Structure 1
Amino acid sequence: MAYAKQTGPPPRTRQPLTAVRVHGVDSRADHGAFLNLPHRLHGDLPLWVPPLRTEQRRQVDRRTNPFFETGSVRLFLARRGRDVVGRIAAIDNPAHNAHHGTRHGFFGLFDCADDPDAARALLASATAWLRERGHERMVGPVDFTTNDQCGVLTEGFEEPPAVLMPYNPPYYAELLAAGGLEPAMDLLAWEIPLDLHDRPRAERLARHVARTVRGLRVRPVDLRDFAAETVVLRRLYQEAWQHNWGYSPPSEKEFDALAKQLRRAARPELVLIAEVDGEPAAFTLVLPDVAPALRAARGRLHTCGVPLGLVRYLRAARHITRVRVVAAGVLRQYRGRGLDTLLHVEVSRRARRLGYRTAEVSWTLADNQAANRTLAAFGARVSKRYALYEGPV
């Protein structure tokens, strides 16, 4: 599916004199306005990918999102008169603070018109709610943890977003700065051709690793035993990522819910596990970039019981040529032995065999020098940059 080129930010308009009013989301009508706002604000942006409305509802529903078993969220709307001009979620994530020994609160699901007063009012409301719960800093946007969609796009507005990555107008960074927040960490998205398996140096290294690491086996995930494979992937993810900046340890139910969401788009050939003497040692999670298909679905797979969006989704999915590297990791005791390169070469080979041509690796922390050096050496380029912001509570 071809993307229309983003020609620039929408024209800035003078805001009316009606005062901004922020209130909690309590009624059914408020929930509908909260979920509909990003579609209304960004529906005309050529590169914006509408989230599936069923997924939006599931995320904010205490009955369906396991995050609410330990965490708390307060949703807010900003209005000018009767018009909804912004939204935000204030997030209390005890698991994050217990892991890092911090007193950080979070904000997420942030969407706003080009209205600095509304943004300031929304951020102030989230800050006040978090202050009441004893937090010292506010970080975001995260929806609701860094295992979910997070960050504000700050560079690369002309590039199409990958699946489960955000897209927003350029003025969002200005709104957060107007609200008193400062950049805390940059997240990088890298674009790379799927030709690593054809590069002599990388192929030689992969063969060397395969010969010298005794008891090594690389296998695809077995979707027939999905429950057991989810346990393996969760352990690998937690142990490989637990020391990263911003890492939020998912509960078993949270990881299961995330895995079920990703499974819908997954190709088992691209989710690889490396085992040494039968024990999991490393993994890579790669998904077809179904963002163009989601855009074709226009936020709904079914309308009044008719699968119109699903038909559009499946039609667009036939033409996908990009994958997204969502996560990869090597357990500490196996690092420095080339397992990561071996997996990347194998994924490249398998993805090309399936008809994909390029990959987006997203995201890496800007301060992860080892990963970023490796990607640059492989010929990747930084295609987009996202930022997480923070400020005192």
Structure 2
Amino acid sequence: MIIAEEVLNEKQKKEFLEFPSRLYQHDKNYIRPLDKDIEDIFNPEKNKFFKNGECKRFLFKNKKNETTGKVAVFVNKLYKQNLPTGGIGFFDCINDQETANFIFDHCKQWLQERGMEAMDGPVNFGERDKFWGLLTEGFIEPLYGMNYNFPYYVNLFENYGFKIYFEQLCFSRPVFGEVSRVFTVMHEKHRRNPAISALPMKKDHLEKFAKDFTEIYNKAWASHGGGKQMEEGKVLKMFKTMKPIINEHISWFVYEHEKPIAMWMNIPDLNQWFKYLNGKFGLVEKLKFLWYKRFKKNQKMVGLVFGVIPEWQKKGIDGYMIWEGTQHLRKNTDFTVTELQWIGDFNPKMIKIAESLDSTITRKLATYRYVFDRAKTFERHLII
């Protein structure tokens, strides 16, 4: 017998956070997400997606009142798909298909009552940059904000009938790995041009770099794959929030005279410090974080954005920027690995860019879809 409990009180909220820690207690690669990051997603005052959606959390108990699974289920009117599609996320479950099926059936019924015809999962009731997808290959330490799960989760989803809607490819390259000769040749070419210069991002000049970032991003990416225009004010606010973790050696901007033409944005992988905090971030943990940040070497950096304005694309300015930045960070940081955030397999243009950086796929996640009407033809994500 399995019982579903909606998460309503503080005890249930705590259990929603604590259950994964017990489940993964013997898995050396598991890193507990910050409780605050999880709770903020389910707080209507913190998560703007509640304005256009609804979200509930559930715990699942056996006859001994022991937690055997958990999930969040949600609808978001802004999540436009070819079918009315809801989402499930923050799924954790013991290795038992019956329990998983009960959880999926519960979510299916909840979504059908709200007019949905399909469900995607595991996804986030928020942006795609965090807690999105099921890990299917590369069961190594997750990056900050990245889902992690046991390999058996793949069977739990696929045995129920979920199919891969799109794969999420994660690329990586060693900082001290060989750099493509094309990059070094392009670097030498543009280095001789007195109009071209490269600058690392500095904390004392966030206003300048927010302006430059916005200009490059909107020219390079706003029309790519349905992207949105970014506002300078919002970018500056984001930069100020990031200020405590900005490393001044690993984010680079390229200019033609004073005009920004390319950028390569990276941050340290916060999980390399957060993994010592057991999900907490109170006063004591903040002091611990500062100590670890000061004295514990972080060898992973994460690529956030890479962009070149259209008129400078295919002219080797990316090679100039990468080799200029790489030479500098090799001398001035402890980073040994560059990780790229996931790229959907529906985006061959971005995959080609990642491959051009001499990177390799080190892990894969999958966004699964389950169509309620089993007679309907399943369709994968459209190529963009």
The residue type paired with residue 267 of structure 2 is L
Stretch moving more, 382-391 or 361-370: 361-370
Displacement of 1:225 in angstroms is: 5.4
TM-score when scaled to structure 2?
A: 0.80
The answer on whether the counterparts of 2:206 and 2:236 sit within 8 Å (CA) in structure 1 is no
The residue type paired with residue 201 of structure 1 is V
Instruction: Give the Cα–Cα distance (whole angstroms) in 1 for the partners of residues 186 and 243 of structure 2.
Output: 31
TM-score when scaled to structure 1?
A: 0.78
The equivalent residue for 1:188 is: 169
SS of the residue aligned with 1:319? coil
The answer on whether the counterparts of 1:351 and 1:357 sit within 8 Å (CA) in structure 2 is no
Cα deviation digits, residues 11-67 of structure 1 (max 9, x gap): xxxxxxxx1222322222221211222222113210111112222222322222333
The equivalent residue for 2:106 is: 125
The answer on whether the counterparts of 2:221 and 2:307 sit within 8 Å (CA) in structure 1 is yes
Cα deviation digits, residues 98-131 of structure 1 (max 9, x gap): xx77633222212222122222222233333333
The answer on whether the counterparts of 1:292 and 1:320 sit within 8 Å (CA) in structure 2 is yes
The equivalent residue for 1:325 is: 303
Displacement of 1:237 in angstroms is: 5.2
The residue type paired with residue 339 of structure 2 is E
The equivalent residue for 1:93 is: 76
Q: Provide closer, same or farther for how the CA distance between residues 294 and 366 of structure 1 changes in structure 2, counting only shifts above 3 A.
A: same
Matches within 5 A, 1:208-287: 208-209=189-190, 216-224=196-204, 226=206, 229=209, 233=213, 240=220, 262-275=242-255, 278=258, 280-287=260-267
Q: 1:201 aligns with which of 179, 182, 207?
A: 182
Instruction: Give the Cα–Cα distance (whole angstroms) in 2 for the partners of residues 308 and 340 of structure 1.
Output: 39
Task: Establish whether residue 29 from structure 1 lines up as the match of residue 8 from structure 2.
Answer: no
The residue type paired with residue 327 of structure 1 is V
Q: Aligned-pair RMSD on alpha carbons?
A: 3.6
The equivalent residue for 2:375 is: none
Task: Establish whether residue 41 from structure 1 lines up as the match of residue 41 from structure 2.
Answer: no
The equivalent residue for 1:57 is: 39
SS of the residue aligned with 1:270? coil
SS of the residue aligned with 1:62? coil
Cα deviation digits, residues 187-211 of structure 1 (max 9, x gap): 1222312146865431211343566
The answer on whether the counterparts of 1:196 and 1:348 sit within 8 Å (CA) in structure 2 is no
The equivalent residue for 2:153 is: 172
The answer on whether the counterparts of 1:139 and 1:388 sit within 8 Å (CA) in structure 2 is yes
Q: Provide closer, same or farther for how the CA distance between residues 364 and 94 of structure 1 changes in structure 2, counting only shifts above 3 A.
A: same
The answer on whether the counterparts of 2:197 and 2:256 sit within 8 Å (CA) in structure 1 is yes
Cα deviation digits, residues 300-325 of structure 1 (max 9, x gap): 2447x57674377347x622222122
Instruction: Give the Cα–Cα distance (whole angstroms) in 1 for the partners of residues 83 and 317 of structure 2.
Output: 33
The equivalent residue for 2:364 is: 385
Displacement of 1:234 in angstroms is: 6.1
The answer on whether the counterparts of 1:209 and 1:337 sit within 8 Å (CA) in structure 2 is no
Q: 2:95 aligns with which of 114, 118, 139?
A: 114
Instruction: Give the Cα–Cα distance (whole angstroms) in 2 for the partners of residues 254 and 94 of structure 1.
Output: 23
SS of the residue aligned with 1:146? coil
Q: Provide closer, same or farther for how the CA distance between residues 76 and 210 of structure 1 changes in structure 2, counting only shifts above 3 A.
A: farther
The answer on whether the counterparts of 2:274 and 2:289 sit within 8 Å (CA) in structure 1 is no
The answer on whether the counterparts of 1:188 and 1:386 sit within 8 Å (CA) in structure 2 is yes
SS of the residue aligned with 1:38? helix
Instruction: Give the Cα–Cα distance (whole angstroms) in 2 for the partners of residues 56 and 66 of structure 1.
Output: 14
SS of the residue aligned with 1:48? coil
SS of the residue aligned with 2:4? strand
Q: Provide closer, same or farther for how the CA distance between residues 75 and 325 of structure 1 changes in structure 2, counting only shifts above 3 A.
A: same
The residue type paired with residue 101 of structure 2 is R
The answer on whether the counterparts of 1:196 and 1:202 sit within 8 Å (CA) in structure 2 is no
Q: Provide closer, same or farther for how the CA distance between residues 350 and 152 of structure 1 changes in structure 2, counting only shifts above 3 A.
A: farther
The answer on whether the counterparts of 2:174 and 2:336 sit within 8 Å (CA) in structure 1 is yes
Displacement of 1:389 in angstroms is: 0.6
Instruction: Give the Cα–Cα distance (whole angstroms) in 2 for the partners of residues 246 and 183 of structure 1.
Output: 22
Structure 2 gaps, min length 5: 373-384
SS of the residue aligned with 2:169? strand
SS of the residue aligned with 1:78? strand
Q: Provide closer, same or farther for how the CA distance between residues 79 and 325 of structure 1 changes in structure 2, counting only shifts above 3 A.
A: same
Displacement of 1:348 in angstroms is: 2.1
Q: Provide closer, same or farther for how the CA distance between residues 298 and 175 of structure 1 changes in structure 2, counting only shifts above 3 A.
A: same
Instruction: Give the Cα–Cα distance (whole angstroms) in 2 for the partners of residues 242 and 110 of structure 1.
Output: 32
Q: Provide closer, same or farther for how the CA distance between residues 69 and 52 of structure 1 changes in structure 2, counting only shifts above 3 A.
A: same
Percent identity over paired residues: 21
Instruction: Give the Cα–Cα distance (whole angstroms) in 2 for the partners of residues 347 and 290 of structure 1.
Output: 21
The answer on whether the counterparts of 2:24 and 2:30 sit within 8 Å (CA) in structure 1 is yes
The answer on whether the counterparts of 1:163 and 1:324 sit within 8 Å (CA) in structure 2 is no
The answer on whether the counterparts of 1:195 and 1:349 sit within 8 Å (CA) in structure 2 is no
The answer on whether the counterparts of 1:49 and 1:291 sit within 8 Å (CA) in structure 2 is yes
Structure 1 gaps, min length 5: 1-18
The answer on whether the counterparts of 1:293 and 1:312 sit within 8 Å (CA) in structure 2 is no
